[in-house]
Every structure is written in structure tokens, then in C-alpha cells.
Amino acid sequence: MRDVRAPIGEDDLQAFIDQRLDEPRRAAVEAYLAEHPEIAARVEAEGRQRDLLRELLQPKFDEPIPAHLRIDTLAAARRERRRGRWQTAAAACVMFVVGAGSGWFGAMQARPTAQSRPMPMVVADQATLAYSTFASEVMHPVEVRATEQAHLMTWLSKRLGHPISAPDLSGHGYRLMGGRLLPGGSGAAAQLMYDDDHGSRLTLFVEAANGDTTAFRFAQDGDMATFVWIDKGMGFAVTAKTPRDALLPIAEAVYRQLDTAPPPARGS
């Protein structure tokens, strides 16, 4: 928790506008604004602008997302780009090593496709892609902020056709920022985003997923770590830029609070 005696900065003012401050810090900002009427007028104007934008954009929440922006479409495009890079490199090798082409071609044919990959890994792919897209967003990391948590959970649960709630991760230093609706592999998906006092962000990705209940599976994509599991027809993935051992207890806390029950296996 931030020291209430710390100087009031622009981050505090924006958090005040978005109603993300705890009570002591909010009181400190209110006292600061009382002493600086010109800044108070700006904050009030920005608050009105935020409310107006939210009202104008509200109809967009229920519009279908274009097919080319669906998570599975973006993931397939990324896999195709990776495959193209491998093909280019292999073609160069063929110029120097006679017969290498046939061996490489056989290896490429043996690579798993999206359809043959285990469902937990498909969910992990979609979760990491959503994380890389939105976790770095400064102005609009979420569609609906945590100040409207009840509305957010009702909306996402309705669109997914499955009741979901926002786990409390304050014991691990993370607080809910809000969430958004995303396209999933076979329907809607949801992303809840959390941050901590250092600005690190963590997401929970949820979508319908075929397959039997699974234990935790671990996936690493660059500096992004993900724990994923399937339970009761739903896929869950917790993603953050943090070491595996640091993320595991958070993932365990999430599935306990969601009342999901994957076997407590710790291997990938």
C-alpha cells in the first residue's frame, strides 16, 4: 500500500478519476485538490469526459468482434509466420547440404497442428497472445474497470454461458484492474487483469474448452509464463511475466477460489 504522505502525482490523479484509490490515499488526493482548485477543475473535467466516453462506447460492448481479430485467427497467423521463418532457414540449408530437404520436410510434417495440440496448450496459446496484446496497454488495458466489478462479472458470465468470479489475489500483492470480453476458440472468452504496486500485470483467461479435467500444465512463451488447466468444460489460464515458481501459488489460489478441481500435479 502506498504511503499516504507521499507527494501527489499524475498517477494518483488518474487513479482518483478512475476510482481506483484506497480510502486513505483518496482522502489525501481530495485534500490536495482542495488546496489546488485549478487542478481540481481539470480532474473534474476529465472525470466528466471519462463518463461521457463510457456512455458513448457502452453499445460497443455487445457488438460481435470481427473474425480477423479473434484469438484463434491471430494465433494461427502467428504460427504460420513462425513456420515461414523455419521454412526459409531450411531452404537455405538445402542449398549447402544435399538431401537435407527431405529430412526437414518430414520433420515439418510431423510438427503438431492446432487441431492435434492438447487442448490445455491451445488455451495457453490464446491466453499468452491476449496477455501480450493487452497487458502492455496504458490507456485502455481493460474494457470494464474493477469499480464496476458486479456488472463486469454478470456481463462476462452471460457471454461465456458459465458463471465466473474474480479471484481475490490481494494476498499475493495483486489487485483487480478490470476485465474484457475476447473471442475464443469456439465462442466468447474472458480476460481479467490484475496489477501490483510495482506495475506488474497478471491475467486470468477463461473460455469454453473441450476435453477431460486436467492437471496444471505449464507453458513458457518468451518471458511470459502460463499455468493452464481444464475443468468442467472450461479452460483457465493464469499468465504473467514472472518465474514459474512464483506463478504457481497464484494459479493454485485462483483455481481454489473458482471451485475448480484439477489434480494437484505440479509438473508441466
pLDDT at 3: 59
pLDDT in tens, 36-94: 998 888 888 888 877 777 676 666 656 666 666 667 777 777 777 766 665 655 555 54
- Output the CA angle 157-239-246, nearest 5 degrees: 125
pLDDT at 127: 94
Output the nine-digit C-alpha cell for 68: 480477423
* DSSP type of residue 65: P
pLDDT in tens, 112-159: 444 567 888 999 999 999 999 999 888 889 999 999 999 999 999 999
pLDDT at 197: 92
Burial 218-244 (b: 16+ CB within 10 A, else e): bbeeeebbbbbbbbeebbbbbbbeeee
Write the CATH number of the domain with boundaries 119-257.
3.30.200.100
- Nearest-angstrom CA–CA distance, 27 and 14: 15
CB 71 within 8 A of CB 183: yes
Average of per-residue pLDDT values in the chain: 80
Backbone angles phi, psi at 152, to 5 degrees: -60, -50
- Output the CA angle 242-132-184, nearest 5 degrees: 115
